[in-house]
Chain A
Amino acid sequence: MKGELKKNKVRRIIVNLDKCNGCRACELVCSAVHAKPKYSSINPARSRIQVVMDPLNDEYVPIRACDYSKAGCDGRRVYMINEKKYSECSFCGTVCPTRDLFKEPDSGLPLKCDMCEDEKEPLCVQACPDGVLTYEEEEEVEEEVKPGEMEIGLKSLVDKYGLQKVADTFARMSQKG
């Protein structure tokens, strides 16, 4: 059985860490373009891209804000770069409840990179010198699972465990997120 083919536009920003000069122009412009009215104020703390920076360790890592999901993180990864230890959280872009990154400084509301939907190219990319940040758009063709297919799978589960058990498990899973 074959699924339907669906076209997806995938938008990416590629980061070349070795070339970053630490100018933080990406932060500045991101805050400006999302200010209301547009450009009216500058505040890197509101930017949806943050350069995690420790010049004395030669560390320059621009990261963009994305949704937090608990499932994606177990906090147990440790990286060594240039003999310095970094935790999994060091360069993580999520709006994680355990830290202040990517939260509006006043309200604490989460910030999220929207890829500058209304602009011809993400602003951070436009402002970044030397191609540290480059923008890429790709058509990705994905095979979509037909609903019928899923139904068949579920039915076999119901047959095995009974409808109530499957429904309970489903409810529990959706609560956990």
Chain B
Amino acid sequence: MRYAETGYNLEIDLSRGNIERVETDPRLTELHLGGQGTNAKILWDRVPPEVEPFSPDNLLIFSTGLLHGTPIVGANRTSVNSFSPQTNLFAHSLMGGYFGPELKHAGYDKIVIRGKAPDLVYLWIKNDKVEIRDATHLRGKGATETAVLIKEGLNEPKAQVAAIGLAGENRVYTASIEHGHSSAARGVGVIMGDKRLKAIAVRGTKDINIARPAELFETCLDLRKKIYKSPYVGDWMAVDEDDGFHHDNFAWGNARVRRRGYWSKELEDRWRNLKYDNMDRQIGCYNCPKKCINVISYSGRKRFGYKCYGKDTYHMAAFKELDFSYEILGVAQEYGLDSYSTPQIIAFAIELYEAGILTDKDLPGFPSDSGERSFYLLEKIVRREGIGDVLANGVYWAARQIGRGAEAYDHNTTKKFEQLPIKLGRLNPPYFLMIATGEKMAITQIEGSFPQDPLPTIEEREEFVRKWDAVPDEKFKKWFLEWEKREQISNEASCAITDWNEAMHYIDDSIGLCGFLSSFRGQFGGGAAYHINNIPHLISLATGMELDKDGLWEIFQRNRNLIRALNVRRGLRRKDEKPPEDHWAVRDHEFEQKLLDEYYKFKGWTNDGIPTQETLDKLGLDYVSEDFIKRGILTGSEGTSSQEQKDEELKSRGC
């Protein structure tokens, strides 16, 4: 018997209308766990680099995490992966809610979708019954509206639906896949639309078996209570209305203006009232006691949900207040748009208009108010109408298609992807590495275990490390105790910190844990519920796999290098690994490049950012190194001297 997983994937070919249930190799679970890890393996095997994102041969994979459907609290992140047309690289995307666990109860670990349907369809999965059904009646419908219509049509109120809105249908690059009040962004909604798949509805009523059930159950009952009570997990901003953190520190408009001192008590009170006057309730995700999602119904608009910084992006892009976000979020949710990159595209277009690069010819009847302008542009983008057709490709491509100097206004992308609008003074070395070398495109998907900034006094730092159970090694405590000024931290520490931060995301994304309980959250307070020291045991209880900390760390390295390899095979190199030029005001290129050299070495990568044959082979990725040599990406004679290699091995285990 297979524990925690079902051992079956669903293979859907939309071109041929073919549906297959395929048994998976249990060995792959041992090597990659599941979720994004095993997705990467499928993408490596089946999508060669010649395949364009819009080719029918590109795959779109919805995957449960290995721990979905077990009692482990907060295991509900569904990973959705593909290759993105915006970056031409691996598209990393996650969504909360209920979809993954439901899919697992239907008897599948993944849905692997290839081909393109002749016209709009949706997929209906109820246990063994799987159907590709006509969705032409849903054309142009909002994402959540679609979910309601499908559930009503099927008379299946318990079905879970993931759907695209108009943005996805029209192949807008920043289209999201919406599921209740959760969504998957960063390059997958556009592929779903390209495949003419409007939605997936799933209902599952099968058992999931647990290897050591009683022990796991007791542990989780206890953990649930701790998580409920702990202020160190979940989104503290769901209850703390002081949002000076984002408003004073992040950049407004087209990632331009930092408005220090913007936040005030008066504003806080006003916004608190606005929120609580319009909030229906706060909800969580499957099997999690936290309440991170604020559900708002605002002035007759569709009810919407937001989390964390998601409430700020639209009004900060438009120099407006919270009520403006409330106006637009419901609309954007129905269109199915990523609320992180879309506002930046809008602000970019407004800037181009003010600079005279876009004119009234491009934007006929362009209003004068920035809020009305945002709505105007939103409508153009989701319909790909006029200038919207260009803007729908994201800031990087739009800048180049518009030309006339627009390229200079694309100042906040890395690897062609919109970064969070943060502009700071002095360099934070681990952040340089994370933004430069991250494969998950958004810093929130990379940072998270080691604090962003030092604490001011030694007493506070001592207090912080005292209860810091999450560290993979005592050296992190030492580095934190010694850390006084943001930019003053050793390269050795920067490399290891980046590695640890990444590790936790790679682990979460393969087992399906929420970052707010784990990878993203430890940086604020140090008290994440899940970490490298307790996850291995939980995996063992659920799956029966023997796993310890070193073993888990090795799986992280394997998944991390495999995803790196996917991108390297599609052309990613050192030249692409650049945080936005103005991310920090004070830059030292020589220092940064040296740091990057050291990090590549630390990771066992060549000076060009390519995993070496030794690194790959050691992780059992021989098939990757063979492919690299065949393609001339590696010559086979790279490598590190044996002493260096020994150091490397010690470091890469992270402990």
- Is chain B a partner of chain A in the same complex? yes
Chain A positions near chain B (C-beta within 8 angstroms)? 18-25, 28-29, 32, 35, 37-46, 52, 54-58, 60, 105, 126-127, 129-130
B303 adjacent to A56 (CB under 8 Å): yes
A-B contact pairs, 6 of them (CB 8 A): A18-B281, A23-B284, A52-B157, A55-B181, A55-B305, A58-B295
Checking A40, A57, A60, A127 against B213 with a beta-carbon cut-off of 8 angstroms, the contacting residue is A40
Cα separation A21 to B305 with both chains bound (whole Å): 13
For residue B105, CB closer than 8 A to chain A, the reply is yes
B224 adjacent to A129 (CB under 8 Å): yes
Instruction: Report how many residues on chain B are interfacial, defined by Cβ distance under 8 Å.
Output: 43
B105 adjacent to A43 (CB under 8 Å): yes
B157 adjacent to A42 (CB under 8 Å): no
For residue B280, CB closer than 8 A to chain A, the reply is yes
With a 10 A CB-CB cut-off, give which of A38, A39, A57, A126 has the most chain B CB atoms. Answer: A39
Other than the given A56-B147, A129-B289, 18 more pairs (CB < 8 A) read A21-B291, A23-B284, A32-B213, A37-B213, A38-B213, A39-B217, A42-B208, A45-B105, A46-B205, A52-B157, A57-B303, A58-B280, A58-B281, A58-B303, A60-B283, A105-B206, A129-B224, A130-B289
B210 adjacent to A42 (CB under 8 Å): yes
CB neighbours (8 Å) of B70 from chain A are 42
For residue B228, CB closer than 8 A to chain A, the reply is yes
Cα separation A21 to B157 with both chains bound (whole Å): 18
A54 adjacent to B157 (CB under 8 Å): yes
Shortest CB distance B109–A (Å): 15
CB neighbours (8 Å) of B204 from chain A are 45
A41 adjacent to B208 (CB under 8 Å): yes
Checking B205, B214, B284, B291 against A38 with a beta-carbon cut-off of 8 angstroms, the contacting residue is B214
Residue of A nearest to B218 (CB): A39
CB neighbours (8 Å) of A24 from chain B are 98, 286-287
Cα separation A57 to B70 with both chains bound (whole Å): 28
Shortest CB distance A96–B (Å): 15
Asked whether A25 and B205 contact (CB < 8 A) given A39-B210, A42-B69, the answer is no
For B349-386 the 0/1 string (1 means CB < 8 A from A) is 00000000000000000000000000000000000000
A23 adjacent to B285 (CB under 8 Å): yes
A29 adjacent to B228 (CB under 8 Å): no
Chain B interface helix/strand/loop/mixed:
loop
A55 adjacent to B207 (CB under 8 Å): no
CB neighbours (8 Å) of B284 from chain A are 21-23
Residue of A nearest to B215 (CB): A39
A42 adjacent to B289 (CB under 8 Å): no
Shortest CB distance A136–B (Å): 20
Asked whether A55 and B221 contact (CB < 8 A) given A23-B287, A24-B286, the answer is no
Chain B positions near chain A (C-beta within 8 angstroms)? 69-71, 73, 98, 105, 144, 147-148, 157, 180-181, 204-210, 213-214, 216-217, 221, 224, 228, 280-291, 295, 297, 302-303, 305
Residue of B nearest to A31 (CB): B207
CB neighbours (8 Å) of A129 from chain B are 224, 228, 289-290
With a 10 A CB-CB cut-off, give which of B70, B214, B281, B302 has the most chain A CB atoms. Answer: B281
With a 10 A CB-CB cut-off, give which of A18, A28, A56 has the most chain B CB atoms. Answer: A56
A44 adjacent to B180 (CB under 8 Å): no
With a 10 A CB-CB cut-off, give which of A19, A20, A22, A130 has the most chain B CB atoms. Answer: A22
Checking A21, A44, A46, A58 against B297 with a beta-carbon cut-off of 8 angstroms, the contacting residue is A58
CB neighbours (8 Å) of A43 from chain B are 105, 205-208
Residue of B nearest to A55 (CB): B180
Shortest CB distance A126–B (Å): 6
CB neighbours (8 Å) of A105 from chain B are 205-206
CB neighbours (8 Å) of A23 from chain B are 284-289
CB neighbours (8 Å) of A25 from chain B are 73, 224, 287-289
Cα separation A93 to B205 with both chains bound (whole Å): 19
CB neighbours (8 Å) of B207 from chain A are 35, 41-43, 46
B209 adjacent to A40 (CB under 8 Å): yes
B287 adjacent to A39 (CB under 8 Å): no
Residue of A nearest to B148 (CB): A56
B281 adjacent to A21 (CB under 8 Å): yes
CB neighbours (8 Å) of B105 from chain A are 43-45
B181 adjacent to A126 (CB under 8 Å): no
CB neighbours (8 Å) of B280 from chain A are 58
CB neighbours (8 Å) of A19 from chain B are 281
CB neighbours (8 Å) of A42 from chain B are 69-71, 207-208, 210
Shortest CB distance B165–A (Å): 14
**The 7 nearest A-B residue pairs measured at CB:** A129-B289, A45-B205, A105-B205, A39-B213, A41-B207, A58-B280, A21-B284
A56 adjacent to B228 (CB under 8 Å): no
Cα separation A28 to B303 with both chains bound (whole Å): 27
CB neighbours (8 Å) of A21 from chain B are 281-284, 289-291
With a 10 A CB-CB cut-off, give which of B144, B214, B217, B288 has the most chain A CB atoms. Answer: B217
CB neighbours (8 Å) of A130 from chain B are 228, 289, 291
Shortest CB distance A50–B (Å): 8
Asked whether A28 and B157 contact (CB < 8 A) given A23-B289, A130-B228, the answer is no
Cα separation A58 to B70 with both chains bound (whole Å): 26
A56 adjacent to B180 (CB under 8 Å): yes
CB neighbours (8 Å) of B289 from chain A are 21, 23, 25, 129-130
Cα separation A43 to B209 with both chains bound (whole Å): 9
Cα separation A58 to B281 with both chains bound (whole Å): 8
Cα separation A35 to B303 with both chains bound (whole Å): 37
Cα separation A123 to B147 with both chains bound (whole Å): 32
CB neighbours (8 Å) of A32 from chain B are 71, 213, 217
CB neighbours (8 Å) of B210 from chain A are 39-42
Cα separation A130 to B69 with both chains bound (whole Å): 22
Cα separation A126 to B218 with both chains bound (whole Å): 11
Shortest CB distance B102–A (Å): 9
Shortest CB distance B282–A (Å): 7
Cα separation A39 to B209 with both chains bound (whole Å): 9
Residue of A nearest to B208 (CB): A42
Cα separation A45 to B305 with both chains bound (whole Å): 26
Residue of B nearest to A106 (CB): B205
Cα separation A32 to B286 with both chains bound (whole Å): 16
Cα separation A130 to B285 with both chains bound (whole Å): 15
Residue of A nearest to B212 (CB): A39
Residue of B nearest to A41 (CB): B207
With a 10 A CB-CB cut-off, give which of A40, A41, A42, A45 has the most chain B CB atoms. Answer: A42
Residue of B nearest to A32 (CB): B217
Cα separation A44 to B98 with both chains bound (whole Å): 12
B285 adjacent to A41 (CB under 8 Å): no
CB neighbours (8 Å) of A22 from chain B are 283-284
Cα separation A57 to B157 with both chains bound (whole Å): 13
Shortest CB distance B523–A (Å): 24
Residue of B nearest to A28 (CB): B287
Cα separation A114 to B171 with both chains bound (whole Å): 51
Cα separation A46 to B181 with both chains bound (whole Å): 26
Residue of B nearest to A19 (CB): B281
Shortest CB distance A161–B (Å): 48
CB neighbours (8 Å) of A39 from chain B are 210, 213-214, 216-217
B295 adjacent to A127 (CB under 8 Å): no
Shortest CB distance B298–A (Å): 13
CB neighbours (8 Å) of B305 from chain A are 55
Shortest CB distance A61–B (Å): 12
